[in-house]
Amino acid sequence: MTNNKTVLSWLDEMAAMTTPDEIVWIDGSEKQLEDLRAEAVSTGEMIQLNQEKLPGCYYHRTAENDVARVEDRTFICTPTEEEAGPVNNWMAPEQMYAKLKALYTGSMKGRTMYVIPYSMGPVGSPFSKIGIELTDSIYVVLNMAIMTRIGQKVLDQLGDSADFVKCLHAKKDVNPDERYIVHFPQDSTIWSINSAYGGNVLLGKKCFALRIASYLGKKEGWMAEHMLILGLENPQGEVKYICAAFPSACGKTNLAMLIPPEYLKEKGYKVWTVGDDIAWLRIGKDGRLYAINPEAGFFGVAPGTSEKTNFNALESAKKNTIFTNVAINNADNTVWWEGLDKNPPEDCTEWTGKLVNGKTYEGKLAHPNSRFTAPAINCPCISSEFENPEGVPVSAIVFGGRRAKTAPLVYQARDWQHGVFVGATMASETTAAAAGAVGVVRRDPMAMKPFVGYNMADYFAHWIEMGKKMDADKAPKIFHVNWFRQDENGNFIWPGFGDNMRVLLWILDRCEGKKDAVESPIGYLPKKEDLDVNNLDIDDATMEELLTVDKAVWLEDVENQEQYFAQFGDRLPKEIKEELETLKKNLSK
């Protein structure tokens, strides 16, 4: 399939170490993928679901010890520990290579090694990057075929170039004590062993598209961000694009596939999904920031996804989708998970493979982190710009978190530098769903804490640097939102879901200079009357509360911010320190 000497010599080296019985190149043809599906079904690796109700859909379950990304087993191996920074696990590259080579030796004996050439982003786009993943898992091949662009066309695009990310995955014996997901940014290399779960083994996803790509972006002058991309179309047919970053459990996928409330739908507003998880951003020839979604599919969390919470995500998963660790409804060989509806199937197989009677079962039928891997083209609101190799121009960047009292519903940063600070101080309060105490503030700058491929202080500096390269009048405006403000009884006071569009409309009005704002110690707040709350049961007092900045609460938060930044020492950019001092002064006035 290729004469690329770099590819072939690397493949020889990896095959000599892992000793597979056979090597199969993935050409991307539907026939080859269909043969692999049939093989996976025959060995029990996958189960074919009801082809009338869920055409092209399959089911897979992972080992009980292998159901999520493993942050404590994820490493960034840079030449020095300081380059990896305090929020990453680090080991010296030569030490890690030695440890891993011992584990990989003979790990594919008796198995087939599949060679998957893949492109992150449309093949041939100036944004796009190529990877090659070697794996002994058909499940990985079939997921990568949904999540990325694969096959011969990718090798043709690569030609003789050595510019590709080398990805090696071996299931081995799925031993959690010897499970490693390791990134060598300087070598453009990712090695994953002893896992068969999506996020640890679909190496194009967080491993390449964020950890390695964030390092490449810093080196090459672009950005890889944990952000959704949506297009908002007004009644005149104009579409403006927003990128947004949220920590987990803050409604990111729901926002990416938002359905406008009836009131705005009737006026002619629409939302288009470009991406639900990752954005790669570059400065265009015109000085504006452009974004692509490097992925070709959605790797969504199933529990909680329903017609009510995310109609478009559910529609996306109705054909050519792989379900992982959900429950199987034995009556009709379809799938079910908590939150899909209120009717758990009476006769079903829960996610570990146990037959149960749903009515009497006490536990969860689907694993809380169970997933669906669905082609993005299935999404009813997929943007017509989804495959645009030049990306879409970004008007606004939105950060957010789950805060009961601190952050108002929305505020705007004063300028790019202040916006970087707003992103760097992003935080969420733990909910009952998270392990540990409720209400603990967890800092997750730009939602990138688990995904940045180098020192986070240098990552902040790179953001500041990117701002200097853009004309101030062309740079996206930066905002912060909080859909989770609570009253004294702990009730949410903003309706959320589709009504979040009302806030996005104010954000876009601000980007176009159509609305004024009120200066506050933390940035620009909307005037109460400028947020469209027509047809909402929301009174003036509640709006006041949603837009209140409580200085005492904020001063407490600033102490927490200072503690967080202290870990970066002298590497923390002076601009971040300046913004922290400005915030303190503003709050003390």
Q: What is the pLDDT of residues 70-92, one digit of tens each?
A: 999 999 999 999 999 999 999 99
The verdict on whether residue 21 carries a ligand-binding annotation is no
> 3-state SS of the chain: helix, strand, coil percent to 5?
35, 25, 45
Averaged pLDDT for residues 391-420: 97
Please give the mean pLDDT across all residues of the chain: 96
**Neighbour count for residue 296 (Cβ, 10 Å):** 23
Query: Is residue 171 annotated as involved in ligand binding?
Result: no
Report which residue type is found at 131.
Answer: G
Residue 277 among known ligand-binding residues? yes
Q: What is the pLDDT of residue 439?
A: 78
371 is in an annotated binding site: yes
Q: What is the pLDDT of residue 17?
A: 98
Any known ligand binding at 565? no
Average pLDDT over residues 170-195: 98
Distance CA 209, CA 297 (A): 13
pLDDT of residue 434: 46
Nearest residue to 316 via CA among 371, 242, 264, 268? 371
**End-to-end Cα, the chain, rounded Å:** 68
pLDDT at 397: 98
The Cα–Cα gap between 524 and 548 comes to: 12
Is 287 annotated as contributing to ligand binding? Answer: no
DSSP 181: E
Specify the range with the lowest mean pLDDT, choosing from 336-345, 352-361, 420-429, 575-584: 352-361
- 307: pLDDT strictly greater than 70: yes
Consult the annotation and say whether 206 binds a ligand: yes
- Higher-pLDDT residue of 360, 154: 154
Residue 226 known to bind ligand: yes
Q: Is 405 annotated as a binding residue?
A: no
Mean of pLDDT values over 9-30 = 98
pLDDT on residue 432: 55
Is 247:426 a contact under the CB 8 Å cutoff? yes
Band of pLDDT at residue 430, cut at 50, 70 and 90: confident
Burial of 319 (0-12, 13-18, 19+ CB in 10 A): middle
Nearest to 87 by CA among 570, 411, 568: 568
221 is in an annotated binding site: no
Task: Please give the Cα distance from 331 to 89 (Å, whole number).
Answer: 46
Q: Is 403 annotated as a binding residue?
A: no
Q: Any known ligand binding at 53?
A: no
Separation between Cα atoms, residue 168 and residue 553, nearest integer Å: 48
pLDDT at 353: 96
Give pLDDT, residue 148: 98
CA-to-CA separations, 58 to 41, 351, 402, 576, in angstroms, rounded = 9, 14, 35, 48
Does residue 52 surpass a pLDDT of 50?
yes
Burial of 339 (0-12, 13-18, 19+ CB in 10 A): middle
Instruction: Indicate which residue of 57, 250, 348, 381 is catalytic.
Output: 250
CA angle 235, 236, 238 (to 5 degrees): 105
Q: How far is CA 491 from CA 62, 84, 113, 309, 435, in A?
A: 37, 41, 53, 18, 21
Residue 253, annotated ligand binder?
A: yes
As a whole number of angstroms, the longest Cα–Cα distance in the chain is 72
Bridge partners of residue 397, in order along the sequence: 243, 478
Query: The tokens of 10 are what?
Result: 């690397």
Residue by residue, DSSP assigns 442-478 as: EE-GGG-TTT-SS-HHHHHHHHHHHHHHS-TTTSPEE
Give catalytic status of residue 57 as yes or no: no
Q: How many angstroms separate the CA atoms of 272 and 285, rounded? A: 25
Q: What is the tens place of the pLDDT at every residue in 537-559?
A: 999 999 999 999 999 999 999 99
Tokens 């597979």, residue located: 20
Domains of the chain and CATH, by start: 5-46+70-220 (3.40.449.10), 225-295+384-588 (3.90.228.20), 297-378 (2.170.8.10)
Known binding residue 358? Answer is no
Residue 395 assigned to a binding site: no
